[in-house]
């Protein structure tokens, strides 16, 4: 029997409106697909695709992903490195992604937004310089302050250093996300409400329309501003405030070279407790009502949300020079070993401190902070003359890697949003490149078999999607004068999900329907789909 394979790929347009994500589905119209527009198939399909889109409809608004600083997302991700965008960038910070915009910044003072699909600059500002030669979409603010932190909320919020001479304080600046226009800017103030040499030194959090940040020594303040730039509260903890995390109404802060973690009520700034440790502490993560962090001796530390020590375990762990932990948390804790014998490794640890798995690096490699999704772990590493991203299933099994040759080795910066992976690699200290990895490919239908018996058809479909795995296989069939559908079942039964996910390798799906007209739709985990019609 002659059969036709009809292919279309969904294009998911993610629109962010008033903080709510809306997904629109557009399809290329072809004569052979008119059937989808003339009956309930199209309605059913769009509903299913909308459901699937919710599994990838996650932005990346803060450098550590969320207010808990977990470096995680529930999004599905590609399992292999397929580039969809590559361009030179000024950005040296972790990219931020919301809607169709990628936001980038560098410590030299540039902040800008580019189009996610084309890479074209939408707007750009030079915070430090008072002039620019970068083109008409750029403007210079001449504030003579460097960019030190940023994050997304109702606006794009940017924290700065003090002036180079240290005579004037840093700012918190709110930019319009669409135009780059300054909405407001507020100086950091010391205890006497005068400007000082305070610089923003921590990651920036946006929580319930509040903006939180930490400042540098000698004062070491934690600041909380409202969405209009008004100071709500501040507290001096001393040192250089390096890390903030938030959870269940409480803000947690650590500073360098202090050995304490401070807990504040986010509403009024009241100090709830202080945990004192024997070593310096890195930026905490809040997950499952626990604080997870690393101390300067290489111990994994787990505290309760009340500040009680639950676990201290030496694993040879570490972080960067700014006291950022090489640590991410999802269903498990993922952290690379930085001390001890080589090759080093990535640990997968439960929240009781038990090691449940590990991945070994190559002999000369050092790892940074991983980024994790539902099942995928992206691990940045540096080698002798390269940077690399490992694509790891559950943090244990390598599926793929992307190696970037460079003259000077810098740890890649990573974020994930809307089912896509964004990475900044350095050629050297001054030259960088932004690479986006994305699955745009349709699943493959390798074979369709029919067995007819007693007025029914048993259909067997062999399919695969070796970029993001198969989400589901559907059969639509005529029922009287209308259409209905069933989800096809895996022919093979599993105790645990296979490496790469169901359908990442060839997989057979079965269903039994009445002996009527039908078509088959295979959908991957990103929302690309293939249609097979008799």
Query: What does the pLDDT look like over 366-394, one tens digit per residue?
Result: 999 999 998 999 999 999 999 999 999 99
Q: What is the pLDDT of residue 191?
A: 65
With cut-offs at 50, 70 and 90, classify the pLDDT of residue 42: confident
- Per the CB < 8 A criterion, the answer to whether 525 and 441 are in contact is no
Q: In the predicted model, is pLDDT for residue 121 greater than 70?
A: yes
Distance of alpha carbon 282 from alpha carbon 318, whole angstroms? 9
Beta-strand runs (E) in 418-499: 420-426, 432-437, 444-453, 456-464, 470-479, 482-487, 489-490
With cut-offs at 50, 70 and 90, classify the pLDDT of residue 484: confident
Mean pLDDT of 159-188: 93
Distance of alpha carbon 386 from alpha carbon 148, whole angstroms? 26
Q: In the predicted model, is pLDDT for residue 1 greater than 50?
A: no
Q: What is the pLDDT of residue 422?
A: 97
Q: Are strands 121-126 and 138-140 parallel, antiparallel or unpaired?
A: parallel
Percent of the chain with pLDDT over 70: 91
Tens-place pLDDT, residues 279-326: 999 999 999 999 999 999 999 999 999 999 999 999 999 999 888 999
CB count in 10 Å sphere of residue 443? 27
Backbone angles phi, psi at 191, to 5 degrees: -60, -35
Nearest-CA neighbor of 147 among 213, 191, 209, 206?
A: 213
Mean pLDDT of 18-30: 31
Distance of alpha carbon 409 from alpha carbon 429, whole angstroms? 9
Q: In the predicted model, is pLDDT for residue 277 greater than 90?
A: yes
- To the question of pTM greater than 0.85 for the whole model, the response is yes
Residue 263, beta-bridge partner list: 252, 273
Tens-place pLDDT, residues 324-339: 999 999 999 999 999 9
Nearest-CA neighbor of 156 among 130, 128, 184?
A: 184
Sign for the pseudo-dihedral over CA of 47, 52, 53, 57: positive
Distance of alpha carbon 283 from alpha carbon 299, whole angstroms? 13
- Per the CB < 8 A criterion, the answer to whether 520 and 474 are in contact is yes
Give the residue, 205 or 19, on which the prediction is more confident: 205
Q: What is the pLDDT of residue 215?
A: 94
Backbone angles phi, psi at 138, to 5 degrees: -110, 150
Distance of alpha carbon 259 from alpha carbon 254, whole angstroms? 8
Q: What is the pLDDT of residue 81?
A: 96
- Full set of structural domains in the chain with CATH: 4-54+441-533 (2.60.40.10), 83-437 (2.130.10.10)
Q: Measured over all CA atoms, what is the biggest interatomic distance in the chain, rounded to whole angstroms?
A: 88
């Amino acid at each position: 029997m002659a059969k036709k394979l009809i292919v279309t790929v969904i294009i998911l347009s993610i629109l962010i409106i008033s903080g709510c994500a809306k997904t629109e589905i557009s399809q290329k119209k072809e004569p052979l697909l008119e059937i989808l527009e003339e009956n309930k198939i199209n309605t059913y399909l769009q509903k299913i695709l909308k459901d699937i889109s919710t599994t990838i409809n996650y932005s990346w608004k803060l450098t550590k992903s969320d207010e808990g600083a977990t470096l995680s997302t529930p999004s599905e991700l590609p399992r292999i490195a397929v580039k969809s965008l590559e361009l030179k960038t000024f950005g040296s910070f972790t990219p931020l992604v919301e809607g169709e915009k990628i936001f980038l910044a560098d410590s030299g003072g540039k902040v800008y937004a580019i189009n996610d699909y084309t890479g074209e600059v939408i707007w750009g500002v030079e915070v430090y310089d008072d002039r620019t030669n970068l083109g008409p979409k750029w403007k210079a603010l001449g504030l003579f302050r460097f960019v030190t932190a940023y994050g997304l909320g109702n606006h794009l919020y940017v924290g700065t250093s003090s002036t180079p001479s240290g005579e004037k304080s840093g700012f918190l600046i709110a930019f319009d996300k669409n135009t780059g226009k300054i909405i407001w800017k507020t100086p950091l103030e010391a205890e006497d409400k005068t400007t000082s040499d305070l610089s923003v030194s921590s990651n920036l959090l946006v929580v319930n329309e509040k903006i939180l940040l930490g400042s540098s020594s000698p004062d070491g303040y934690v600041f909380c501003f409202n969405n209009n730039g008004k100071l709500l509260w501040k507290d001096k903890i001393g040192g250089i405030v390096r890390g903030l995390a938030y959870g269940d109404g409480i803000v947690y802060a650590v500073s360098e070279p202090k050995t304490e973690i401070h807990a504040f009520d986010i509403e009024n700034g009241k100090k709830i407790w202080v945990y004192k440790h024997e070593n310096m502490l890195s930026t905490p993560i809040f997950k499952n009502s626990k604080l997870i962090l690393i101390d300067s001796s290489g111990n994994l530390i787990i505290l309760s949300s009340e500040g009680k020590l639950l676990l201290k375990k030496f694993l040879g762990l570490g972080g960067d020079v700014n006291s950022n932990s090489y640590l991410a948390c999802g269903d498990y804790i993922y952290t690379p070993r930085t001390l001890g014998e080589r090759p080093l490794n990535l640990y997968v640890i439960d929240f009781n401190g038990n090691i449940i798995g590990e991945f070994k690096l190559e002999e000369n490699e050092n790892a940074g902070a991983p980024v994790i999704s539902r099942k995928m772990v992206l691990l940045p590493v540096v080698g002798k003359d390269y940077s690399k991203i490992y694509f790891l299933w559950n943090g244990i099994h390598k599926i793929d890697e992307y190696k970037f040759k460079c003259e000077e080795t810098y740890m890649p910066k990573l974020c994930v949003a809307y089912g896509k992976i964004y990475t900044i690699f350095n050629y050297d200290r001054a030259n960088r490149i932004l690479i986006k990895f994305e699955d745009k490919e349709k699943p493959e239908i390798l074979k369709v078999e029919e067995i007819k018996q007693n007025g029914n058809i048993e259909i067997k479909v062999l399919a695969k999607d070796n970029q993001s795995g198969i989400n589901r296989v559907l059969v639509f069939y005529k029922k009287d004068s209308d259409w209905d559908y069933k989800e096809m079942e895996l022919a093979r039964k599993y105790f645990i999900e296979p490496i790469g996910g169901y359908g990442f390798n060839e997989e057979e799906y079965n269903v039994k329907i009445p002996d009527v007209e039908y078509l088959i739709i295979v959908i991957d985990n990103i929302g690309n789909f293939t249609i097979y019609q008799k």
